[in-house]
Amino acid sequence: MNSLSPQHLIRFSARTQDLHPSPIREILAVVDRPGMISFAGGLPSLDSFPQFTLEAMPQHMLQYGASEGEAELRERIAADMQGLGVKCSAEQVLILSGSQQGIDLVAKLFIDPGTPVAVEAPTYLAALQVFRFFGARFVAYDVGAPDLHTLQQEKPAFAYAIPTFQNPSGRCLDASERAALAAACDAADIPLFEDDPYRDLVYDDCERTPVCAGLQQAPWIYQGSFSKSLAPGLRLGYLVASPELMPFLTRLKQAADLHSNRLSQWLVLQQLKNPERSRQLVALAGHYRQRRDAFEAALRRHFSDLAVWQTPPGGLFFWLTLNRRVDTRLMLPKAIAAGVAFMPGESFLPMAVDACGQLRLNFSHASSEDAESGLRILADLVREFI
Ligand code: PMP
């Protein structure tokens, strides 16, 4: 029972006890302040969005639609997945209102209070938020290094992984790490939940074959998003799952929101059919590659003596490990007061830790001038702390 005021006793569900605010949403609330330089969110750059027009949209797109999504869009996605080596049909595709919805549906399907869930450490903080809300107990493993023995012992309900341009670490699993993850899920008979929103933002040559393509028997859910490759405001993503999971996921989708926005689905379909699409993706990746390189040059100027990092071969983030294990959450209010926002590393860890000395920096949003001055301010602050 939660009480808001003596007059109003409101009975919330027990799971509401685990409903914590997302640190990123709270930071995003301040980054709109004039003059703030934000390395915090994973915001695509505004100039990367295509021009959309609704002029030719058929009127029936304003009608209620199928929960599974528009048939033609599902067929295209299934064909693309087959091209990536994932055996599936259009019936195995469910259109989502953003891939964040897939995380919610999967959590609803698998998690009761106390259910073990395998996650990478670090991992996407808004997935941790959802899994926690449903009462998950985390079985954490280092990115790319699942421990089969632990998985077999703990028997998690599923393993959540972001093998390609991981959020927040930027890591892209190589072929043998991908094979090892698939083999671990098969051997421990654990469903794999593969989250893949960044795959199109590729800057260096690297292995990107979905891990679920290498599974022999474990059930799987793969999800993708149009947020990074087209525009996040469309709120459109999709999941593709092994056939035995589809009826359950579809019912959960029906209960959640009936179906995803048909205008967005139509707009996305037009973009996917556009013969210029693959050229546009190459241009998009080229644009972000330049931003990454400029950002890294600024990082080298300001952080060489303070932190180590690996160049992310794709995606939107640098993951810095400072020379000292300071609590970067304590740095954040000072950074914001100085006009720079970043994401403290502790928020991405499934286990509570005192201090990890790591931080995530988004490189796609700030201009190169802002990146230069923001990193200089941040480096001065880090020097104070370490
Ligand atoms: N998964 C991961 C790993 C993400 O980083 C994000 C957001 N950036 C999402 C899912 C959700 O994205 P969306 O709902 O916009 O598709």
**Structure ipTM:** 0.99
What is the distance in A from the centroid of ligand 1 to the CA of 282? 21
Q: What is the pLDDT of residue 361?
A: 98
Pocket of ligand 1 (CB under 6 A): 42, 98-100, 124, 162, 167, 195, 197, 225, 227, 232, 237
Neighbours of 285 (CB within 10 A): 16
Which H or E element spans position 50? none
Dist. CA 204–CA 53, nearest whole Å: 33
Q: Are the C-beta atoms of residues 137 and 183 closer than 8 Å to each other? A: no
Q: What is the pLDDT of residue 1?
A: 45
Which residue shows structure tokens 């209010």? Answer: 333
What is the distance in A from the centroid of ligand 1 to the CA of 245? 21
Ligand 1 atom at minimum distance from 225 CA: 16
Render 338-368 in DSSP notation, one character per residue. TTEE-EEGGGG-SS--S---EEEEE-SSS-H
In the chain, helix, strand, coil percent, each to 5? 45, 15, 40
Instruction: Indicate the top mutation candidate among 27, 124, 260, 365 to test ligand 1's pocket, ranked by most ligand atoms within 8 A of CB.
Output: 124
Instruction: Indicate the top mutation candidate among 28, 100, 198 to test ligand 1's pocket, ranked by most ligand atoms within 8 A of CB.
Output: 100
Beta bridge partner(s), residue 307: 322
Q: What is the pLDDT of residue 17?
A: 82
Our measurement of the distance from residue 161's CA atom to the centroid of its chain's CA atoms, rounded to an integer in Å, reads 10
Q: What is the pLDDT of residue 7?
A: 61
CB burial readout 213-241, b (16+ within 10 A) else e: bbbeebbbbbbbbbbbbbbbebbbbbbbb
Dist. CA 297–CA 146, nearest whole Å: 33
Q: Are the C-beta atoms of residues 37 and 374 closer than 8 Å to each other? A: yes
Ligand 1 atom at minimum distance from 237 CA: 16
Q: Which two tokens stand for residue 204?
A: 């260096």
Q: What is the pLDDT of residue 4?
A: 55
CA atoms within 13 A on the CB side of 204: 12
Q: Are the C-beta atoms of residues 235 and 256 closer than 8 Å to each other? A: no
Q: What is the pLDDT of residue 6?
A: 58
Q: Alpha-carbon dihedral of residues 216, 220, 226, 229, nearest 10 degrees? A: -30
User: Per residue of the chain (386 residues), what is the pLDDT tens digit?
Assistant: 444 555 678 899 988 887 877 766 667 778 778 889 999 988 888 888 888 888 899 999 999 999 999 999 999 999 999 999 999 999 999 999 999 999 999 999 999 999 999 999 999 999 999 999 999 999 999 999 999 999 999 999 999 999 999 999 999 999 999 999 999 999 999 999 999 999 999 999 999 999 999 999 999 999 999 999 999 999 999 999 999 999 999 999 999 999 999 999 999 999 999 999 999 999 999 999 999 999 999 999 999 999 999 999 999 999 999 999 989 999 999 999 999 999 999 999 999 888 889 999 999 988 899 999 999 999 999 999 88
Q: Classify residue 123 by its DSSP letter.
A: -
What's the pTM?
0.95
**CA neighbor of 317 nearest in space, from 340, 341, 297, 343:** 343
The sign of the dihedral angle between the CA atoms of 224, 230, 233, 234 is: negative
Ligand 1 atom at minimum distance from 42 CA: 8
